[in-house]
Structure 1
Amino acid sequence: MPKSTPKRAVKSKSQRRAPPQRSPESVEPTIAHPMERVIAIVYDGMLILALLFLVGTVLTVIGTLLTMQTGTDSAQAQSLPRWYQNFIMTPSFVLTLVGFYGMFWRRGGQTLGMQTWRLKTVNNAGHLLTWGQSFKRILAACLMPLLCSIIGSLIASSRTVMLLSAFFGFIFNYVFCLFNRRGLAVQDMLSNTITLKMPKVEQEGLWRGFRNRKKSK
């Protein structure tokens, strides 16, 4: 008797192995970890320091020409008037920070450092920040460092103590995340904004975000 050849089982498309489904946690944004947020700020800090140094240099030259007589040697050097430092230079530094973060937050929700770690800052409704919201968030982030520096100046009238106190206030903003139920920082709560960790599948390039925001107008 002729041997019967076994029939090959033909798998239908429905029987083929389906690709593994991503878990919901991997495709949805989560609250950003405080350590990643601090590292992103360190990344941005190098560029911010360069901008502040440029602004400070320009304002120092202008202030020297307008308020003081220039000498011919270092012995004749003078410091800028206190009113010029407090009412011209300090607000200019604050506006530089607002302009830096506001420009990136309004366009794509991410600075250069935040782009590296896939972080994105939005308001509680999930929309990109306005100029007013950006300004409010920056002031909220400066609140604790300012209060701590004031307390430090009352304890000891030393510039080093003031800087260390301000740094402690900066760190407190993010240590607060560890004790907050939702993982929010101080500036998140005060400004009704939030910083998210974006999934890789939804990560949008920084410059693509700029272009998309421009086209949508």
Structure 2
Amino acid sequence: MRRRFTELDSTWPAGLIRRLAAMVYDLFLIVAIWMLMGFIAVALNRGEANETPLFHSLLFVATFAFFAFFWMRGGMTLGMQAWRLRVQTTDGMSITLVQSLLRFLAACASLAALGLGYWWILFDAEKRSWSDIVSNTQVVVLPKPERNTNKKK
């Protein structure tokens, strides 16, 4: 079920450095998922490495499932949470499965083009990457949460 996010007036477009930092965090999680899948595949294959196209396809699908789950659920992967980033539609809604798929495929194309789709952020007036443009979404920075200064005495 899609949801409307709050604090839309206090967000701003995310820059390249913040996005790359979140990607590094998420990369560690993705590698852990790949390693777990590899261990399972080796165990099921009686100790032999499994380098089949089917196995690589499963890794690709698992990677998409990771991102789609987090993007559709709350707009943030764990790396995005650490850097206070959120992906949303241009009108402040959570994204759909189709938008997640478009974002993911455009991200793959961006990385395959030596990151050109992300360097695009530096030249786009709205700081959009290819993934944002293709899926009609945006990545925004969330404001820092206010600290409660009223301590109990």
Percent of aligned positions with the same letter in both sequences? 32
- The reply to whether residue 53 of structure 1 matches residue 19 of structure 2 is no
2:117 to 145, 150, 173: 173
Match of 1:138 in 2: 104
- SS of the residue corresponding to residue 200 of structure 1 reads coil
Residue 59 of structure 1 and its aligned partner are, at CA, apart by 2.6
2:55 to 73, 82, 89: 89
**TM-score, normalisation: structure 1:** 0.57
The residue correspondences of 1:145-184 to structure 2 (distance < 5 A) are 145-146=111-112, 148=113, 169=114, 171-184=115-128
In 1, Cα distance between equivalents of 2:145 and 2:39: 43
Deviations 1:131-157 (A, max 9, x none): 2221221111001333x4xxxxxxxxx
In 2, Cα distance between equivalents of 1:111 and 1:144: 19
In 1, Cα distance between equivalents of 2:68 and 2:28: 17
In 2, Cα distance between equivalents of 1:42 and 1:104: 16
In 2, Cα distance between equivalents of 1:101 and 1:48: 9
1:192 and 1:60, CA in 2 relative to 1: closer, same or farther beyond 3 A? farther
Between the two proteins, the alignment pairs up a number of residues equal to: 138
In 1, Cα distance between equivalents of 2:116 and 2:35: 26
In 2, Cα distance between equivalents of 1:128 and 1:109: 6
In 2, Cα distance between equivalents of 1:58 and 1:201: 40
Q: 2:110, 2:118 within 8 Å by CA — same for their partners in 1?
A: no
- SS of the residue corresponding to residue 52 of structure 2 reads helix
**TM-score, normalisation: structure 2:** 0.79
In 2, Cα distance between equivalents of 1:138 and 1:33: 19
Deviations 1:45-102 (A, max 9, x none): 111110011112323443x35xxxx7xxxxxx7x65xxx622x112211211121111
Q: 2:76, 2:87 within 8 Å by CA — same for their partners in 1?
A: yes
Runs of 4+ in 1 over 4 A off after TM superposition: none
In 1, Cα distance between equivalents of 2:77 and 2:110: 22
